[in-house]
């Protein structure tokens, strides 16, 4: 979790039942008597959520009494511009996506995302003194293990714990969402929310991707670059040079390369240098929709194959990609093309 407010009061978003709202959260702090507190922007009964930074800023500027008015950092918040009240992607908590994360593989990204959301729900339970919600998330072994950084979901025992966590989520998460929803007060018109969190990759204009091959799985970065002043002509480029794509077997290696390497095609992107300041390696992990399985013919895989072949200036026969690619596509032709593309993938770690 990151903060532009020196960990005093943090703008966050909560996504619940299809709506995304902006509020403020104050991590634990001690008052003059040494008593520890934490809290949300609230009206004494519920947590206030806004559809955009403008409306949140207007509420803050109004001087209206709220649950954070006595916080030692509230005076600092009063001086913030609307843009400074926009949360980062690390401060977004999507309760709706928990089912999807739990259904996936227990990779570090999914586990971390799930743990962050469950931990935030526990904070809501504590701040709202909701005993039922507290018992649901804090007194449930599978959730307790999830937020314990020492627990692994790898190996035979880990896979068993991951499966048990999935069962727990299927049985209880809907009740957790219902309890959380009862503590939220949605302020304003959420039909026109602008809170889809902008990530550093949105600004850079690129995204990490995963390429699944018959004998290896690699990570790299893909981008669409504008080549003319009018913005009408774009070209797909990858992390690498004209004929080589730099690929990695783990997120840490990709993260370090993106932060430090120069001379590759993507280093020319205007906002690429922002990646040097990203400390969390998980930011470099491909999203759930950024994986391409090349082990069998598919339309999605064919699109990436063509892009890679063009970028690497391969001379192989890509005619099959001009046709409808499906399970009936000749497997030998497909595998030959995949093998040729693989010759321009250069592992860096």
Beta 217-226 vs 206-212: how paired, if at all? antiparallel
Over residues 52-88, the pLDDT tens digits come to 888 999 999 999 999 999 888 898 899 888 878 888 7
Over residues 256-299, the pLDDT tens digits come to 999 999 989 999 888 898 898 888 888 898 876 788 988 988 88
Share of the chain above pLDDT 70, in %: 91
- Per-domain residue ranges of the chain: 1-198, 200-347
Are 253 and 171 contacting, i.e. CB atoms less than 8 angstroms apart?
no
Rounded CA separation 12/28 (Å): 15
Rounded CA separation 165/144 (Å): 10
pLDDT higher for 103 or 187?
A: 187
pLDDT reading at 107 higher than 80: no
pLDDT reading at 33 higher than 60: yes
0.75 surpassed by pTM: no
Beta 19-30 vs 10-16: how paired, if at all? antiparallel
Over residues 136-177, the pLDDT tens digits come to 998 889 999 998 877 888 888 889 999 999 999 999 999 999
Which token pair is 218?
Answer: 């690699």
Nearest to 42 by CA among 217, 226, 183: 183
């Amino acid at each position: 979790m990151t903060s532009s407010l020196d960990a005093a009061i943090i703008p966050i978003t909560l996504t619940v039942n299809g709506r995304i709202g902006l509020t403020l959260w104050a991590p634990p702090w001690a008052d003059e008597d040494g008593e520890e507190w934490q809290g949300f922007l609230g009206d004494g009964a519920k947590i206030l959520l806004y559809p955009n930074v403008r409306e949140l800023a207007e509420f803050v500027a109004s001087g209206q009494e709220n649950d954070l008015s006595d916080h030692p950092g509230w005076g600092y918040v009063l001086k913030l511009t609307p843009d400074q009240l926009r949360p980062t992607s690390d401060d977004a908590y999507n309760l709706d996506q928990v089912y999807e994360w739990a259904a996936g593989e227990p990779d570090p990204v999914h586990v971390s995302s799930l743990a962050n959301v469950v931990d935030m729900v526990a904070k809501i339970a504590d701040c709202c003194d909701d005993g039922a919600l507290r018992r649901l998330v804090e007194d449930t072994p599978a959730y307790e293990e999830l937020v314990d950084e020492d627990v692994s979901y790898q190996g035979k025992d880990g896979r068993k714990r991951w499966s048990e966590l999935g069962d727990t989520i299927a049985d209880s998460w809907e009740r957790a969402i219902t309890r959380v929803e009862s503590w939220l007060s949605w302020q304003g018109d959420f039909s026109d929310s602008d809170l889809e969190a902008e990530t550093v990759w949105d600004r850079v204009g690129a995204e990490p991707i995963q390429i699944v091959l018959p004998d290896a799985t690699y990570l790299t970065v893909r981008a669409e670059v504008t080549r003319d002043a009018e913005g009408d002509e774009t070209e797909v480029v990858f992390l690498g040079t004209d004929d080589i794509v730099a690929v990695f077997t783990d997120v840490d290696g990709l993260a370090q390369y993106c932060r430090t390497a120069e001379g590759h095609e993507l280093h020319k992107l205007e906002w690429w240098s922002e990646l040097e300041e990203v400390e969390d390696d998980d930011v470099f992990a491909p999203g759930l929709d950024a994986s391409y399985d090349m082990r069998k013919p598919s339309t999605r895989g064919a699109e990436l194959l063509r892009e890679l072949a063009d970028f690497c200036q391969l001379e192989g026969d890509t005619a099959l990609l001009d046709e409808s690619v499906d399970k009936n596509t000749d497997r030998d032709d497909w595998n030959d093309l995949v093998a040729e593309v693989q010759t321009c993938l250069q592992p860096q770690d």
